[in-house]
């Protein structure tokens, strides 16, 4: 991390409640923009972290994000001017606000959005079609919801579809933040002739992740490809059609669980990048032929045993990965 950024993080730290250094280039504190969790005074979801040569701010409670430069300006204007001058002296004239800090930048006010806690829908377990579909996959239907008219229902929460055309029933997968606020949802089709998943975010700044309200951050967190897969994995979250910037979450330990598709170039590239970052990843053994966790569960595999015995990182991960992608 830039030495000037480190200096000013230290200087502003006294203004940040519950401030602590998690590890090199990662700092955690209660978000000063939204005030963080009102129910849990010890929760801290504000982070300063490094991406390449830049230092960024992100709050996983209200979704606010900015450069460290703009974050510092909101917290302490005087300290920010000193920071800008010091950056300027060091030749960093390209950062936001350096060229003319006499003219104030636009002031952004982040108001914590108010979201519902649950969906106004029946559980999937109350519908025979949805129940049959989920139970056939060994998935508990009581964990999800159901709507007969996905497009019409979605538009009552967020205008998404300009025209209602061939509306259809879908299983609804709720996306909650750590405080159990509803931040979005996925609609999973029940038929073969439509887009499988449609993701709708009620909070556009929130990460597209399933399971944030269920994990224990003090234990290893498994990151799976999809919500249904995650139901078979203890202490897990799921990606919902997006790559995750895990560095900003401050999780102590996490393990990536990609699908078992060695001929899928995208998956192969993502595993390779994960290993290069020094992170832990699952490399599936050759005797497992199923492509995802759901299929493995249906085939009778003990999922947690498989994960725990096939977690790798570093050189060992590279060796296992090279053998796996040749299968």
Whether the CB-CB separation of 258 and 222 falls below 8 Å is answered with no
Residue 265 CB contacts under 8 Å (≥ 6 apart), including other chains: none
Residue 193, Cβ neighbours under 10 Å: how many?
7
The whole-number pLDDT of residue 243 equals: 63
Which range of 28-42, 91-105, 249-263 scores highest in mean pLDDT? It is 249-263
Place of tokens 């050759």: 286
Amino acid 1: pLDDT: 74
Q: Region 75-83: what's the mean pLDDT?
A: 89
Decide if pLDDT at 147 tops 60.
yes
**Mean confidence (pLDDT) of the chain:** 87
Beta bridge partners of 58: 47, 65
Flag whether pLDDT at 112 surpasses 90.
no
The total number of residues shown for the chain amounts to 327
Q: Is the pLDDT assigned to residue 108 strictly greater than 80?
A: no
Q: Residues with Cβ < 8 Å from 212, sequence gap 6 or more?
A: 60, 175, 176, 177, 178, 237
More confident of the two residues 130 and 252: 130
CA gyration radius, the chain: 22
Asked whether residue 139 falls in the same domain as residue 240, the answer is no
CATH number at residue 69: 3.90.580.10
Quote the DSSP letter at residue 149: -
Which residue, of 38, 70, 89, is where some domain finishes?
A: 89
Does residue 306 sit in the same domain as residue 217? yes
Domain final position from 153, 188, 206: 206
**What is the C-alpha separation between 162 and 196, in angstroms, rounded?**
20
Token couple for 238: 């799921």
Q: What is the pTM of this model?
A: 0.69
CA-closest candidate to residue 99, choices 87, 109, 112, 117: 87
Mark whether 31 and 80 lie in a shared domain.
yes
DSSP letters of 279-314?
-EEE---TT---SSHHHHHHTT--HHHHHHHSEE-H
Bridge partners (DSSP) of residue 174 are: 185
Among candidate residues 179, 206, 233, the one where a domain is terminated? 206
Alpha-carbon distance 303 to 96, whole Å? 48
At residue 85, does pLDDT exceed 60? yes
Question: Per-residue pLDDT averaged across 162-168, rounded?
Answer: 83
Q: Could you tell me the CATH number of the domain that includes residue 128?
A: 3.90.980.10
Percent of the chain whose pLDDT exceeds 90: 57
Same domain, 200 and 222: no
**Are both 279 and 320 inside the same structural domain?**
yes
Average pLDDT over residues 179-193: 88
Does 100 score more than 50 pLDDT? no
Q: Which residue in the block uniquely carries the two structure tokens 């994995």?
A: 233
Taking a C-beta distance cutoff of 8 angstroms, is the pair 152, 163 a contact? Answer: no
- Which domain covers residue 51, as residue numbers? 3-89
Give 121's pLDDT tier (boundaries 50, 70, 90): very high
> How many structural domains are present in the chain?
3
Q: Cβ neighbours of residue 281 under 8 Å, at least 6 residues apart?
A: 255, 256, 257, 258, 271, 274, 275, 311, 312, 313, 317, 321
pLDDT at 92 over 70: no
Give the tokens for residue 63: 């979704």
Same domain, 137 and 30: no
For tokens 């979450």, what's the residue?
249
Mean pLDDT lowest among 14-23, 39-48, 181-190, 292-301: 39-48
């Amino acid at each position: 991390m830039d030495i000037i950024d480190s200096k000013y993080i230290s200087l502003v730290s006294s203004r940040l409640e519950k401030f602590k250094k998690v590890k090199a280039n990662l700092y955690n504190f209660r978000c000063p923009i939204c005030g963080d969790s009102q129910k849990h005074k010890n929760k801290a979801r504000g982070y300063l972290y490094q991406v390449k040569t830049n230092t960024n701010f992100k709050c996983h409670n209200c979704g606010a994000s900015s450069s460290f430069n703009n974050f510092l300006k909101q917290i302490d204007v005087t300290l920010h001017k000193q920071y800008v001058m010091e950056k300027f002296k060091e030749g960093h004239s390209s950062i936001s606000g350096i060229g003319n800090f006499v003219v104030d930048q636009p002031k952004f006010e982040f108001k914590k959005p108010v979201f519902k806690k649950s969906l106004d829908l029946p559980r999937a377990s109350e519908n025979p079609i949805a129940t049959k579909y989920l139970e056939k996959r060994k998935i508990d239907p009581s964990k999800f919801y159901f709507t007969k008219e996905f497009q019409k229902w979605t538009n009552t929460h967020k205008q998404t579809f300009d025209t209602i055309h061939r509306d259809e029933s879908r299983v609804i997968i709720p996306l909650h933040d750590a405080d159990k606020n509803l931040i979005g949802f996925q609609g999973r089709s029940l038929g073969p002739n439509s887009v499988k998943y449609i993701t709708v975010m009620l909070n556009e700044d929130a990460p597209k992740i399933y399971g944030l309200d269920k994990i224990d951050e003090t234990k290893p967190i498994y990151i799976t490809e999809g919500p249904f897969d995650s139901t078979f994995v203890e202490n897990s979250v799921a990606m919902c059609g997006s790559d995750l910037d895990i560095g900003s979450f401050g999780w102590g330990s996490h393990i990536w669980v990609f699908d078992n598709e060695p001929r899928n170039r995208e998956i192969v590239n993502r595993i390779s990048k994960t290993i290069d970052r020094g992170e832990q990843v699952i490399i599936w053994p050759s005797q497992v032929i199923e492509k995802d966790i759901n299929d493995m569960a249906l085939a009778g595999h003990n999922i947690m045993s498989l994960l725990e015995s096939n977690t790798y990182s570093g050189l060992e991960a590279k060796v296992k990965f090279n053998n796996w992608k040749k299968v």
